[in-house]
Amino acid sequence: MTRNNVERSALTEKLGVDIDPELLSLALTHRSFAYENGGIPHNERLEFLGDSVLGQAVTVRLFTRYPDLDEGQLAKRRAGVVSTIALAEVARGIGLGQHVRLGRGEILTGGNDKDSILADTMEALIGATYLSAGPDAATAMVLRLVEPLMADPARYGAAMDPKTSLQEIAARLSLPAPTYAVEASGPDHDRRFTATVTVGDVVTTGTGSSKKQAEMAAALTAWRELDARA
At residue 1, the 3 state secondary structure works out as coil
Q: Which amino acid is at 23?
A: L
- Integer Rg of the chain from CA: 18
Catalytic entry in 106, 115, 120, 123: 123
Taking the C-alpha atoms of 188, 189, 190 and 195 in order, what is their torsion angle to the nearest 10 degrees? Answer: 40
Instruction: For residue 123, indicate whether it is catalytic.
Output: yes
Q: What are phi and psi of 156, to 5 degrees?
A: -60, -50
Burial 122-147 (b: 16+ CB within 10 A, else e): bbbbbbbbbbbbeeebbbbbbeebbe
Q: Which of 178, 180, 207 is nearest to 194 (CA)?
A: 207
CB 38 within 8 A of CB 107: no
Catalytic entry in 51, 120, 161, 215: 51
Q: Which burial class, exposed, middle or buried, applies to 98 when counting CB atoms under 10 A from its CB (0-12, 13-18, 19+)?
A: exposed
Q: How many C-beta atoms surround the C-beta of residue 174 within 10 A?
A: 7
Give the E-state strand segments of 130-191 in sequence order.
179-185
Instruction: For residue 161, indicate whether it is catalytic.
Output: no
Q: Which helix (H) or strand (E) holds 148?
A: helix 135-150
Q: Which of 6, 34, 170 is nearest to 104 (CA)?
A: 34
Catalytically active residues, by annotation: 51, 123
